[in-house]
Amino acid sequence: MKTFRYAHRGLHDLSAGIPENSLAAFRRAAGRGFGAELDVHLLSDGTLAVFHDSKLERLTGREGFIEDLTAADLPQLKLAGTGETVPQLHEVLELFDRAKLPLLVELKAFRGNHNELTERTVRELDKYLVPYVIESFDPRCLLWLWRNHPEIIRGQLAQDFLHGDSSGMGHKVDLILTHMAYNPATRPNFVSYRFEDRNTPALRRVKRLKTAVIFYWTIRSREDMELAEADGAQVIFEGFIP
């Protein structure tokens, strides 16, 4: 998986009618030979949807949370005013199985569903021959993987939460995530850190000690991509085609 660059939420371009985390975006990424990063939520009927926010409003104009819906509701959710709808995880896996390209799967835990979300996602992934790794901001997802499937490559998502947006898990968790102090417990194989925060002491320590592979998100220019790769990091990109 180190030989690929990863299209953030698929190779989306809303000006061309291709919204993020849509099947069109994933087809476009696969068609150009890129891996893809995607976001997975657990729905109320136990199925898995590919969507970034728990709140529906930003991309669909509807109120409510995607976790409260079922698979039968997804075809009614139009993404960003286009004809594209919210895909189920298995639809993206079928596409990348045919393309023989890798996926970077982010788990979006919500309302304490971290264990069930992680278990169900692993079960779905293992139905396909898709190379994948799993990452999450929620260290409890990684801890479940370490305890139950230590062979699965797992990554801790993080950023400098002390000088930016909150993780939504509270100030104490923000502090711990910023410094990646959960890593001794979750033992991530890689860390996925915001590119703009790459000079934080915690990430410099990971790079110096070589305790994990580094991914940078989100790379939005060729210049930043070159800086990231010169730093030895894997690239998650959007807004341009490398």
Say what the pLDDT of residue 164 is.
Answer: 81
Say what the pLDDT of residue 99 is.
Answer: 97
Query: What pTM, to 2 d.p., does this model score?
Result: 0.97
Cα distance between residue 18 and residue 77, in whole Å: 15
Percent helix, strand and coil across the chain, each to the nearest 5: 40, 20, 40
Cα distance between residue 60 and residue 70, in whole Å: 15
Cα distance between residue 84 and residue 65, in whole Å: 19
Say what the pLDDT of residue 202 is.
Answer: 93
For residue 217 the two structure tokens come to 């998100």
Locate all alpha helices (DSSP H) within 155-221, ordered by sequence. 171-178, 183-186, 201-209
Say what the pLDDT of residue 231 is.
Answer: 93
- Residue 178 · residue 204 · CB < 8 Å: no
Say what the pLDDT of residue 24 is.
Answer: 98
Q: Are strands 35-42 and 154-158 parallel, antiparallel or unpaired?
A: unpaired
Each residue's pLDDT, cut to its tens digit, for the chain (242 residues) gives 889 999 999 999 999 999 999 999 999 999 999 999 999 999 999 999 999 999 999 999 999 999 999 999 999 999 999 999 999 999 999 999 999 999 999 999 999 999 999 999 999 999 999 999 999 999 999 999 999 999 999 999 999 998 888 888 889 999 999 999 999 999 999 999 999 999 999 999 999 999 999 999 999 999 999 999 999 999 999 999 99
- Residue 54 · residue 168 · CB < 8 Å: no
Cα distance between residue 11 and residue 30, in whole Å: 9
Q: Is the peptide bond before 70 cis (omega within 30 degrees of 0)?
A: no
Q: Give the DSSP letter of residue 113.
A: -
Say what the pLDDT of residue 165 is.
Answer: 85
Say what the pLDDT of residue 166 is.
Answer: 87
In angstroms, the Cα distances linking 9 to 37, 53, 213 are 5, 12, 21
For residue 65 the two structure tokens come to 């949370």
Say what the pLDDT of residue 163 is.
Answer: 86
